[in-house]
Homo-oligomer: A and B are copies of this chain.
Amino acid sequence: MHRTKVRIVEEALDANNTIAEANRADFDRAGVRVVNFMSAPGAGKTALLERVVADLPGVRVGVLEGDVQGSMDADRLASLHVPVTQLNTDAGFGGECHLDANMVRSALGELPLDEIDLLVIENVGNLVCPAEFRVGEDARIMVSSITEGEEKPLKYPLMFRACELVLVNKIDLLPHLDFDLDRFLYNLDQVHPGVERMLVSAKTGEGVGEWREWLTRVGAPVEAHA
Protein backbone atom coordinates (compact mmCIF):
# COMPACT_ATOMS: atom_id res chain seq x y z
CA MET A 1 0.00 0.00 0.00
CA HIS A 2 2.83 2.34 0.85
CA ARG A 3 4.51 1.62 -2.49
CA THR A 4 1.30 2.46 -4.36
CA LYS A 5 1.01 5.69 -2.46
CA VAL A 6 4.54 6.72 -3.36
CA ARG A 7 3.89 5.97 -7.02
CA ILE A 8 0.71 8.08 -7.05
CA VAL A 9 2.65 10.94 -5.48
CA GLU A 10 5.43 10.63 -8.07
CA GLU A 11 2.92 10.68 -10.90
CA ALA A 12 1.26 13.75 -9.41
CA LEU A 13 4.63 15.50 -9.22
CA ASP A 14 5.41 14.50 -12.83
CA ALA A 15 2.12 15.99 -14.00
CA ASN A 16 2.83 19.08 -11.95
CA ASN A 17 6.23 19.54 -13.59
CA THR A 18 4.71 19.26 -17.06
CA ILE A 19 2.25 22.03 -16.26
CA ALA A 20 4.96 24.11 -14.58
CA GLU A 21 6.93 24.00 -17.85
CA ALA A 22 3.87 25.21 -19.75
CA ASN A 23 3.51 28.09 -17.27
CA ARG A 24 7.22 28.85 -17.67
CA ALA A 25 6.82 29.05 -21.46
CA ASP A 26 3.87 31.44 -21.11
CA PHE A 27 5.78 33.65 -18.67
CA ASP A 28 8.78 33.69 -21.04
CA ARG A 29 6.62 34.70 -23.99
CA ALA A 30 5.27 37.59 -21.93
CA GLY A 31 8.76 38.55 -20.74
CA VAL A 32 7.76 38.12 -17.12
CA ARG A 33 10.08 36.90 -14.38
CA VAL A 34 8.46 34.89 -11.60
CA VAL A 35 9.33 34.45 -7.95
CA ASN A 36 7.73 31.83 -5.69
CA PHE A 37 7.59 33.28 -2.16
CA MET A 38 7.22 30.74 0.65
CA SER A 39 7.25 30.48 4.45
CA ALA A 40 5.46 29.13 7.49
CA PRO A 41 2.23 30.92 8.47
CA GLY A 42 2.94 34.27 10.05
CA ALA A 43 6.62 34.53 9.12
CA GLY A 44 5.98 37.90 7.49
CA LYS A 45 5.76 37.30 3.73
CA THR A 46 3.09 39.94 3.14
CA ALA A 47 4.79 42.50 5.39
CA LEU A 48 8.07 42.01 3.52
CA LEU A 49 6.28 42.44 0.18
CA GLU A 50 4.52 45.58 1.43
CA ARG A 51 7.97 47.05 2.07
CA VAL A 52 9.16 46.69 -1.54
CA VAL A 53 6.65 45.81 -4.27
CA ALA A 54 5.58 49.38 -5.03
CA ASP A 55 9.15 50.59 -5.07
CA LEU A 56 11.38 48.45 -7.32
CA PRO A 57 13.26 50.84 -9.65
CA GLY A 58 12.28 50.11 -13.25
CA VAL A 59 10.38 46.93 -12.39
CA ARG A 60 6.60 46.69 -12.61
CA VAL A 61 5.39 44.11 -10.09
CA GLY A 62 2.24 42.01 -9.96
CA VAL A 63 1.28 39.65 -7.15
CA LEU A 64 -0.55 36.32 -7.20
CA GLU A 65 -1.79 35.76 -3.68
CA GLY A 66 -2.39 32.18 -2.53
CA ASP A 67 -4.53 31.59 0.55
CA VAL A 68 -6.76 28.84 1.83
CA GLN A 69 -9.52 31.38 2.35
CA GLY A 70 -10.08 35.12 2.27
CA SER A 71 -8.25 37.98 0.59
CA MET A 72 -6.73 39.90 3.51
CA ASP A 73 -3.18 39.80 2.22
CA ALA A 74 -4.30 40.63 -1.32
CA ASP A 75 -6.21 43.63 0.01
CA ARG A 76 -3.13 44.85 1.90
CA LEU A 77 -1.01 44.68 -1.25
CA ALA A 78 -3.68 46.09 -3.58
CA SER A 79 -3.80 49.19 -1.39
CA LEU A 80 -0.25 49.88 -2.64
CA HIS A 81 -1.67 50.14 -6.19
CA VAL A 82 0.02 46.97 -7.35
CA PRO A 83 -2.07 44.53 -9.44
CA VAL A 84 -3.01 41.61 -7.21
CA THR A 85 -4.85 38.42 -8.16
CA GLN A 86 -6.32 36.21 -5.43
CA LEU A 87 -6.19 32.42 -5.64
CA ASN A 88 -8.08 30.54 -2.90
CA THR A 89 -7.41 26.85 -2.35
CA ASP A 90 -10.43 25.91 -0.24
CA ALA A 91 -12.75 24.64 -3.00
CA GLY A 92 -14.11 21.19 -2.35
CA PHE A 93 -12.73 20.36 1.06
CA GLY A 94 -10.71 21.79 3.93
CA GLY A 95 -8.24 23.51 1.65
CA GLU A 96 -5.02 22.80 -0.20
CA CYS A 97 -1.91 23.57 1.82
CA HIS A 98 0.11 24.78 -1.17
CA LEU A 99 -0.13 26.17 -4.67
CA ASP A 100 0.64 23.78 -7.52
CA ALA A 101 1.34 24.46 -11.19
CA ASN A 102 -2.24 23.79 -12.24
CA MET A 103 -3.69 26.24 -9.70
CA VAL A 104 -1.31 28.92 -10.96
CA ARG A 105 -2.24 27.99 -14.55
CA SER A 106 -5.91 28.47 -13.72
CA ALA A 107 -5.13 32.07 -12.76
CA LEU A 108 -2.99 32.93 -15.82
CA GLY A 109 -5.92 34.47 -17.70
CA GLU A 110 -6.52 36.91 -14.87
CA LEU A 111 -2.92 38.05 -14.56
CA PRO A 112 -1.97 41.30 -16.36
CA LEU A 113 1.17 39.73 -17.83
CA ASP A 114 1.53 42.47 -20.46
CA GLU A 115 1.71 45.15 -17.78
CA ILE A 116 4.27 43.65 -15.41
CA ASP A 117 7.92 42.59 -15.42
CA LEU A 118 7.89 40.54 -12.28
CA LEU A 119 5.22 38.28 -10.82
CA VAL A 120 5.53 37.46 -7.14
CA ILE A 121 3.55 34.38 -6.15
CA GLU A 122 2.86 34.45 -2.42
CA ASN A 123 2.34 30.79 -1.56
CA VAL A 124 0.16 29.33 1.23
CA GLY A 125 1.93 29.49 4.60
CA ASN A 126 3.46 26.02 5.00
CA LEU A 127 7.01 24.68 5.33
CA VAL A 128 6.42 21.32 3.65
CA CYS A 129 4.38 20.98 0.46
CA PRO A 130 5.02 24.31 -1.32
CA ALA A 131 8.64 23.20 -1.75
CA GLU A 132 7.52 20.06 -3.58
CA PHE A 133 5.55 21.79 -6.32
CA ARG A 134 7.27 23.94 -8.94
CA VAL A 135 4.85 26.40 -10.51
CA GLY A 136 6.98 27.76 -13.37
CA GLU A 137 9.05 30.23 -11.34
CA ASP A 138 12.56 31.63 -11.98
CA ALA A 139 13.49 31.78 -8.33
CA ARG A 140 12.23 30.69 -4.95
CA ILE A 141 12.55 32.76 -1.83
CA MET A 142 11.71 31.58 1.64
CA VAL A 143 11.16 33.58 4.78
CA SER A 144 12.11 32.14 8.15
CA SER A 145 11.12 34.14 11.21
CA ILE A 146 13.56 33.94 14.11
CA THR A 147 10.57 33.35 16.40
CA GLU A 148 10.28 29.87 14.85
CA GLY A 149 13.53 28.66 16.40
CA GLU A 150 17.03 27.64 15.31
CA GLU A 151 16.25 24.09 14.29
CA LYS A 152 13.79 24.74 11.46
CA PRO A 153 16.32 24.07 8.62
CA LEU A 154 16.95 20.61 10.07
CA LYS A 155 13.25 19.84 10.52
CA TYR A 156 12.07 21.13 7.13
CA PRO A 157 15.17 20.60 4.98
CA LEU A 158 13.47 20.42 1.59
CA MET A 159 12.05 23.93 1.96
CA PHE A 160 15.42 25.39 2.95
CA ARG A 161 17.13 23.52 0.08
CA ALA A 162 14.58 24.45 -2.57
CA CYS A 163 15.23 28.20 -2.54
CA GLU A 164 17.76 30.68 -3.86
CA LEU A 165 17.36 33.18 -1.03
CA VAL A 166 16.49 32.91 2.67
CA LEU A 167 15.12 36.02 4.35
CA VAL A 168 15.67 35.74 8.12
CA ASN A 169 12.86 37.97 9.33
CA LYS A 170 11.82 39.66 12.60
CA ILE A 171 15.49 40.22 13.41
CA ASP A 172 14.33 43.17 15.58
CA LEU A 173 13.09 40.62 18.13
CA LEU A 174 16.56 39.14 18.68
CA PRO A 175 17.04 40.82 22.10
CA HIS A 176 13.74 39.39 23.34
CA LEU A 177 14.14 35.74 22.28
CA ASP A 178 16.28 32.77 23.28
CA PHE A 179 17.35 32.49 19.65
CA ASP A 180 20.92 31.57 18.74
CA LEU A 181 21.46 33.22 15.34
CA ASP A 182 24.83 31.54 14.78
CA ARG A 183 23.27 28.17 15.45
CA PHE A 184 20.45 28.90 12.96
CA LEU A 185 22.94 29.93 10.26
CA TYR A 186 25.04 26.83 11.00
CA ASN A 187 21.93 24.65 10.61
CA LEU A 188 21.04 26.46 7.39
CA ASP A 189 24.50 25.71 5.97
CA GLN A 190 24.09 22.07 6.97
CA VAL A 191 21.10 21.65 4.64
CA HIS A 192 21.90 24.29 1.98
CA PRO A 193 25.59 25.26 2.16
CA GLY A 194 26.24 28.87 1.25
CA VAL A 195 22.68 29.74 0.22
CA GLU A 196 22.24 33.51 0.02
CA ARG A 197 20.65 34.87 3.18
CA MET A 198 19.66 38.30 4.48
CA LEU A 199 18.81 39.39 8.02
CA VAL A 200 15.74 41.58 7.75
CA SER A 201 12.95 43.21 9.73
CA ALA A 202 9.75 44.18 7.96
CA LYS A 203 8.94 46.15 11.11
CA THR A 204 12.06 48.34 11.42
CA GLY A 205 13.20 48.20 7.80
CA GLU A 206 16.55 46.61 8.66
CA GLY A 207 17.93 44.77 5.63
CA VAL A 208 15.01 45.85 3.43
CA GLY A 209 17.29 47.80 1.06
CA GLU A 210 19.31 44.70 0.31
CA TRP A 211 16.11 42.67 -0.19
CA ARG A 212 14.73 45.32 -2.55
CA GLU A 213 17.96 45.23 -4.62
CA TRP A 214 17.83 41.44 -4.89
CA LEU A 215 14.24 41.49 -6.10
CA THR A 216 15.00 44.32 -8.52
CA ARG A 217 17.83 42.29 -10.09
CA VAL A 218 15.60 39.23 -10.51
CA GLY A 219 12.73 41.29 -11.88
CA ALA A 220 14.66 43.55 -14.26
CA PRO A 221 12.85 43.64 -17.64
CA VAL A 222 13.93 40.74 -19.79
CA GLU A 223 14.97 43.07 -22.66
CA ALA A 224 17.59 44.56 -20.36
CA HIS A 225 19.26 41.15 -20.13
CA ALA A 226 19.69 40.91 -23.94
Binding site for B on A (CB under 8 A): 2, 5-6, 9-10, 13, 40-42, 67-70, 72, 91-97, 124-129, 131-132, 145, 147-149, 151-152, 154-158, 170, 173, 176-178, 203
Contacts and interface: CB of A to CB of B under 8 A. Distances in A.
A42 B148 contact: yes
A6 to B, nearest CB: 4
Nearest to A170: B147
Given A70-B155, A92-B6, A149 B42 contact: yes
A170 B97 CA distance: 25
A119 B38 CA distance: 33
Contacts of A6: 91-93
B128 A127 contact: no
Which of A42, A91, A148, A158 has most B Cβ within 10 Å? Answer: A42
A96 B2 CA distance: 13
Contact of A2 (B92, B124, B127, B149): B92
Given A42-B149, A97-B126, A125-B127, 5 more contacts: A2-B92, A69-B157, A72-B154, A97-B97, A124-B128
A182 B3 CA distance: 48
A128 B68 contact: yes
B67 A155 contact: yes
A72 B128 contact: no
Contacts of A72: 151, 154-155
Which of A72, A126, A131, A157 has most B Cβ within 10 Å? Answer: A126
Contacts of A13: 93
Contacts of A176: 173, 176
A47 to B, nearest CB: 9
Nearest to A157: B69
B40 A125 contact: yes
6 contacts: A10-B93, A67-B155, A68-B156, A94-B158, A95-B158, A147-B170
